[in-house]
Chains A and B, each alone.
Chain A
Amino acid sequence: MPALNDKDACELLDADHIAVKHLFVDYARLAFAAASPPAPALLGKKAAAPAADRAAIAMKICDELTVHAQIEEEIFYPALQQALPDAADLLQEAQAEHQEAKEMIARLRDMGAPDAAMDSLVAELNRAIEHHVKEERDELFPKARASGLDLVPLGLQLRERQQELEAETAPAT
């Protein structure tokens, strides 16, 4: 796989999609292992994953999605708005979905230790994001690619802003 800076705008945003899907999958694995019935006697004791791991993944999901939504709203959507007047509906829907996701993220950030409520909310966020991602991948990206918009410099711009925002949200060490 070529290095990070080779990606155009769609590829960069899709990298976020795939990366956050991975986090959702990891979260679900831990959540279901924690909630599963006792291991059959012949299997011995299963090693329980620390609950802290789940909370950390949930917070990482929140951070990643927050940055992702922000760079889309600041850079990607405005660029498309200009290049694709007929995509207004799609973009409006995308923004509404961002809003919905942001509300869920805010609720998640307020939660303490991971429990069944957090598991449900993460799953709900997962489904919402998946729907949003599918629309972007199936509808918006093909439009963007066909629009004649130069996606390479746009990708660079997205990346710079993303790095800036990531530096801001990075936990102090």
Chain B
Amino acid sequence: MPTASTLSEENGSDKTGSVAPEGVNSTIDSLDRVRVDSSGQRLTTNQGVPVADNQNSLKYGVRGPALLEDFILREKITHFDHERIPERIVHARGSGAHGFFEAYEPLTQYTKAAPFKEAGKITPVFVRFSTVAGERGSKDTARDVRGFAVKFYTDEGNWDLVGNNMPVFFIQDAMKFPDLVHAVKPEPHNAMPQAGSAHDTFWDFVSLMPESTHMLMWVMSDRAIPRSFATMQGFGVHTFRLVNEAGDSVFVKFHWSPKYGTHSLVWDEAVKISGADPDFHRRDLWERIESGAFPEYELGVQIFTEDQAEQFSFDILDSTKIIPEELIPVQPVGRMVLNRNPDNFFAETEQVAFCTAHVVPGIDFSNDPLLAGRIHSYVDTQISRLGGPNFHEIPINSPIAPVHNNQRDGMHRQAIHRGRVSYEPNSLAGGCPFQAGAAQGFVSVSASIQAKEEQGKVRAKPEKFADHYTQARLFFESQSPVEQDHIANAFRFELSKLTVPAIRERTVAMLRNASEALARKVAMGLGMEPLPEALPLALPNPAQPEVTKSPALSLLARPGDGSLTGRKVAILVAPGVEGEAVATAQAALLEQGVVARLVGPRIGRMPTASGDVIDADASMENEPGFLFDALILPDGQEAVAALAQDGHTMEFIKDQFRHCKTILALGASRQLLVKAGLPVSMDKSQAQGGTGLILAEAGDAGAAIAAFIEAMAMHRHFGREMDPPLL
């Protein structure tokens, strides 16, 4: 072979193997090559030496000193001491899953990218969802952007679509990224608050950066507290390019839409969940996948030409702007299903390295200056986090496409490259690996740069970047009244936490440019009177927007398939419960893909009214009401009496009621609602049928449960939401 390493390579052994197969890089084999299963195996050191005693260190006499020569103890302790790696500076808190992407139809008209080559083509993916600000062990339900990063293991290399669950960002230029992150992270003197933006430095920064106004609308909306990773959208954020075989390119924005609808928590609920279950989203993702209720998303693209982009009232290179769907519709091009949990959190979810620089032939960048910075930053940070330039060889990161180049050495190198040649061109290795050429290899789009004066080196922005408010207004105006309330309340909450009044005022002054109604409402909630003067506009006369309302931006426009798959219902139980109705409810809910848990004053077996036995699998103390999507209160006088004397029951009902969830009270349990303090003024709304409270007479469980399931499909019943809350 021309690449032969040594004359002696045919002298094989168990360790060396023999001669390498020609043209193969074995490090790209599936993860099976590194999976470890220890069933039936003895304990060894890292060197494979069997360990006789894993209980006692080596000592000079049973009461004597431990000995330095104890290599078994020292190896164990030393490895333990070095188990941690630096956490990501942002997106430290994450959860991952394996799955696949399936193309609907060939997209070859626009792109030669491997995943879109033919209908039904399957590409393996690994996805990592994350919060941004919190540290690795922080709560899942913080108010925050969620990372939505997808690694496509394509036939032509790895493509990372490193997105978020919001289509815009706080800043326009990567130059401001460290400032933004320093501002939102825990404050440097006291490291508080953890996983929260409600503090002075964040609002100080954003209120001095009016370009953040649009993103603030998204982050203060319910989008920032998703119900589940399976019920949030994803976006590529930046404008990218699709490039076809002929080398023609169009611009593209990527959208992921969840099959199960876009649904969120409410703030009071998110706060409570973070105490009772900080792993709420991680657990939800894990349980959905383990139970076969696979999260699924449709990939959509907004495709437009450079000429179209020229006409828009905004700049498509500006990451603080969306392209309204009314202007460029989103075309569905495929779906992604997450169907396998990682075997090992550290090896996969922690060590996975997403980089915006990872694109494949057929995908290319735009000149978005934030994207430019990200193309550098992600690779750079992995080198530090994963200990060197060979992080691409960590099994979760290695592509399934062949890898051959002359990059060599570095910390933790896995590959054993044969031969003398680590350069190109060469003759000694027959010219291999040879460059793929324009026909097969990645070719950057030759975006034309006109020889105009303004194309010289500048540190400046295009004029349209200075329109900071038009799209913030568009977002706010496109929300339903309930969503607008939630945005105003979120601003009120965050700003109420500040210790510097001037920052509050500056923020309200900024909001006045986006929505006078919102600014007034926020100011009212802060006892701020009179309103501060609106901030001066950077661009006094921005271009007329193409649309002033885009209903597609409301969560209400995205109910998904309306199914209840993956939702959780609590059925309260206690000794003496009417067992048949409980069984009927459980069966009906299971059929809908809903997890119904029996929650009692304690866990364990208890007698039913008819003398059977049921088994409570959670207690109210352990699994409080706000962890469930809906509630069924059981019939049975004795059970109701037992629940009525337990204060947890009232909290359970109160939270379910306040968070506008569907509640079914069977027979005698109606009195629990009264005891919990449901206001008498609910009755008129109840008579109109809109409160999501279902009061069933004894013995009518079947019909009541059907009505309950129907009401659950509405997600929430905000008709009972008042500010401040009724209960």
Question: Is the pair B552, A36 in contact by a Cβ cutoff of 8 Å?
Answer: yes
Of B484, B680, B720, the residue contacting A2 (CB under 8 A) is B680
Q: Does B10 contact A (CB under 8 A)?
A: no
Query: How near does chain B come to A68, taking the closest CB pair, in angstroms?
Result: 11
Query: How near does chain B come to A120, taking the closest CB pair, in angstroms?
Result: 8
Query: How near does chain B come to A38, taking the closest CB pair, in angstroms?
Result: 8
Which of B485, B561, B691 gathers most chain A CB within 10 Å?
Answer: B561
Interface code B539-577, partner A: CB below 8 Å = 1, 0 otherwise? 000000000010110101111111000000000000000
Q: Does A21 contact B (CB under 8 A)?
A: yes
Question: Is the pair B332, A41 in contact by a Cβ cutoff of 8 Å?
Answer: yes
Question: Is the pair B679, A40 in contact by a Cβ cutoff of 8 Å?
Answer: no
> What is the CA–CA distance of A46 and B713 in the complex, to the nearest angstrom?
14
What residues of B have a CB within 8 angstroms of the CB of A7 in the complex? 680-681, 683
Question: Is the pair A22, B720 in contact by a Cβ cutoff of 8 Å?
Answer: yes
Query: How near does chain B come to A5, taking the closest CB pair, in angstroms?
Result: 10
What residues of A have a CB within 8 angstroms of the CB of B552 in the complex? 35-37
Q: Which chain B residues in 681-727 approach chain A with CB under 8 Å? A: 681-688, 690-691, 714, 717-724, 726
Question: Is the pair B719, A21 in contact by a Cβ cutoff of 8 Å?
Answer: yes
Q: Does B165 contact A (CB under 8 A)?
A: no
Question: Is the pair A19, B557 in contact by a Cβ cutoff of 8 Å?
Answer: no
Of B332, B681, B683, the residue contacting A42 (CB under 8 A) is B332
Measured CB to CB, the nearest residue on chain A to B557 is A36
Question: Is the pair A15, B690 in contact by a Cβ cutoff of 8 Å?
Answer: no
Question: Is the pair B690, A40 in contact by a Cβ cutoff of 8 Å?
Answer: no
Measured CB to CB, the nearest residue on chain B to A120 is B549
Of A17, A40, A137, the residue contacting B298 (CB under 8 A) is A40
Q: Which chain A residues in 21-71 approach chain B with CB under 8 Å? A: 21-26, 28-29, 31-33, 35-37, 40-44, 46
Question: Is the pair B685, A126 in contact by a Cβ cutoff of 8 Å?
Answer: no
Interface code B659-690, partner A: CB below 8 Å = 1, 0 otherwise? 00000000000000110001111111111101
Of B296, B325, B726, the residue contacting A18 (CB under 8 A) is B726
Q: Does B431 contact A (CB under 8 A)?
A: no
What residues of A have a CB within 8 angstroms of the CB of B300 in the complex? 40
Question: Is the pair A137, B481 in contact by a Cβ cutoff of 8 Å?
Answer: no
Interface code B312-332, partner A: CB below 8 Å = 1, 0 otherwise? 000000000000010001101
What residues of A have a CB within 8 angstroms of the CB of B718 in the complex? 21, 25
Q: Does B335 contact A (CB under 8 A)?
A: yes
What residues of B have a CB within 8 angstroms of the CB of A123 in the complex? 480-481
Query: How near does chain A come to B208, taking the closest CB pair, in angstroms?
Result: 30
Question: Is the pair A22, B560 in contact by a Cβ cutoff of 8 Å?
Answer: no
Of A1, A22, A29, A116, the residue contacting B678 (CB under 8 A) is A1
Q: Does B257 contact A (CB under 8 A)?
A: yes
Measured CB to CB, the nearest residue on chain B to A44 is B561
Measured CB to CB, the nearest residue on chain B to A28 is B480
> What is the CA–CA distance of A52 and B685 in the complex, to the nearest angstrom?
21
Q: Does B259 contact A (CB under 8 A)?
A: yes
Interface size class of B (residues with CB under 8 A): 35 or more
What residues of B have a CB within 8 angstroms of the CB of A28 in the complex? 480-482, 556
Q: Does A73 contact B (CB under 8 A)?
A: no
Question: Is the pair B557, A37 in contact by a Cβ cutoff of 8 Å?
Answer: yes
> What is the CA–CA distance of A137 and B726 in the complex, to the nearest angstrom?
10
Query: How near does chain B come to A108, taking the closest CB pair, in angstroms?
Result: 15
Q: Does A14 contact B (CB under 8 A)?
A: yes
Question: Is the pair A42, B296 in contact by a Cβ cutoff of 8 Å?
Answer: yes
Query: How near does chain B come to A122, taking the closest CB pair, in angstroms?
Result: 9
Question: Is the pair A19, B298 in contact by a Cβ cutoff of 8 Å?
Answer: no
Interface size class of A (residues with CB under 8 A): 35 or more
Query: How near does chain B come to A92, taking the closest CB pair, in angstroms?
Result: 18
Question: Is the pair B682, A15 in contact by a Cβ cutoff of 8 Å?
Answer: yes
> What is the CA–CA distance of A3 and B684 in the complex, to the nearest angstrom?
10
What residues of A have a CB within 8 angstroms of the CB of B325 in the complex? 37
Query: How near does chain B come to A95, taking the closest CB pair, in angstroms?
Result: 20
Interface code B277-303, partner A: CB below 8 Å = 1, 0 otherwise? 000000000000000000010101000
Of A18, A32, A127, the residue contacting B551 (CB under 8 A) is A32
What residues of B have a CB within 8 angstroms of the CB of A29 in the complex? 480, 556, 714
Q: Does B493 contact A (CB under 8 A)?
A: no
Of A16, A126, A134, the residue contacting B481 (CB under 8 A) is A126
Taking A11-B680, A15-B683 as contacts, is the C-beta distance between A26 and B690 under 8 angstroms?
yes
Query: How near does chain B come to A137, taking the closest CB pair, in angstroms?
Result: 7
Question: Is the pair A43, B556 in contact by a Cβ cutoff of 8 Å?
Answer: no
Of A15, A24, A126, the residue contacting B681 (CB under 8 A) is A15
Question: Is the pair A25, B482 in contact by a Cβ cutoff of 8 Å?
Answer: yes
Q: Does A100 contact B (CB under 8 A)?
A: no
Question: Is the pair B259, A32 in contact by a Cβ cutoff of 8 Å?
Answer: no
Q: Does A150 contact B (CB under 8 A)?
A: no
Question: Is the pair B690, A36 in contact by a Cβ cutoff of 8 Å?
Answer: no
Q: Does B517 contact A (CB under 8 A)?
A: yes
Q: Does B104 contact A (CB under 8 A)?
A: yes
What residues of B have a CB within 8 angstroms of the CB of A21 in the complex? 685, 718-722
> What is the CA–CA distance of A126 and B557 in the complex, to the nearest angstrom?
19
Measured CB to CB, the nearest residue on chain A to B716 is A25
Q: Does A6 contact B (CB under 8 A)?
A: yes
> What is the CA–CA distance of A16 and B257 in the complex, to the nearest angstrom?
38
Question: Is the pair B682, A25 in contact by a Cβ cutoff of 8 Å?
Answer: no
> What is the CA–CA distance of A29 and B329 in the complex, to the nearest angstrom?
22
What residues of A have a CB within 8 angstroms of the CB of B674 in the complex? 1-2
Q: Does A146 contact B (CB under 8 A)?
A: no
Interface code B446-482, partner A: CB below 8 Å = 1, 0 otherwise? 0000000000000000000000000000000000111
Query: How near does chain A come to B670, taking the closest CB pair, in angstroms?
Result: 8
What residues of B have a CB within 8 angstroms of the CB of A36 in the complex? 551-552, 554, 556-558
Of A17, A22, A120, A127, the residue contacting B690 (CB under 8 A) is A22
Query: How near does chain A come to B274, taking the closest CB pair, in angstroms?
Result: 27
Measured CB to CB, the nearest residue on chain B to A116 is B549
What residues of A have a CB within 8 angstroms of the CB of B335 in the complex? 42
What residues of A have a CB within 8 angstroms of the CB of B557 in the complex? 32-33, 35-37
Question: Is the pair A11, B681 in contact by a Cβ cutoff of 8 Å?
Answer: yes
> What is the CA–CA distance of A31 and B481 in the complex, to the nearest angstrom?
12
Measured CB to CB, the nearest residue on chain B to A134 is B723
Interface code B402-431, partner A: CB below 8 Å = 1, 0 otherwise? 000000000000000000000000000000
Q: Does A130 contact B (CB under 8 A)?
A: yes
> What is the CA–CA distance of A35 and B330 in the complex, to the nearest angstrom?
15
What residues of B have a CB within 8 angstroms of the CB of A31 in the complex? 480, 551
> What is the CA–CA distance of A47 and B629 in the complex, to the nearest angstrom?
24
Query: How near does chain A come to B119, taking the closest CB pair, in angstroms?
Result: 12
> What is the CA–CA distance of A134 and B678 in the complex, to the nearest angstrom?
19
Query: How near does chain B come to A86, taking the closest CB pair, in angstroms?
Result: 19
Q: Does A172 contact B (CB under 8 A)?
A: no
Q: Does A170 contact B (CB under 8 A)?
A: no
Measured CB to CB, the nearest residue on chain B to A26 is B690
Q: Which chain A residues in 129-171 approach chain B with CB under 8 Å? A: 130, 133-134, 137-138
> What is the CA–CA distance of A173 and B673 in the complex, to the nearest angstrom?
36
Question: Is the pair A43, B722 in contact by a Cβ cutoff of 8 Å?
Answer: no
Q: Does A106 contact B (CB under 8 A)?
A: no
Q: Which 4 A-B residue pairings sit nearest by Cβ, starting from the closest?
A: A22-B719, A36-B557, A32-B556, A35-B551
Not counting A11-B681, A15-B684, A42-B259, a sample of 6 additional A-B residue pairs whose C-beta atoms are within 8 angstroms of each other reads A1-B678, A18-B681, A21-B685, A25-B481, A37-B329, A40-B298
Tell me the B residues contacting A by CB distance below 8 Å.
Answer: 104, 257, 259, 296, 298, 300, 325, 329-330, 332, 335, 480-482, 484-485, 517, 549, 551-552, 554, 556-562, 673-674, 678-688, 690-691, 714, 717-724, 726
- 29 chain-A/chain-B pairs, Cβ below 8 angstroms: A1-B679, A1-B686, A2-B680, A7-B683, A11-B680, A11-B681, A12-B681, A15-B685, A16-B684, A21-B719, A22-B685, A22-B688, A23-B690, A23-B719, A24-B481, A25-B481, A28-B480, A29-B556, A31-B480, A32-B554, A32-B557, A36-B557, A37-B557, A41-B298, A43-B560, A120-B549, A127-B484, A133-B722, A137-B722
Tell me the A residues contacting B by CB distance below 8 Å.
Answer: 1-4, 6-7, 11-12, 14-19, 21-26, 28-29, 31-33, 35-37, 40-44, 46, 116, 120, 123, 126-127, 130, 133-134, 137-138
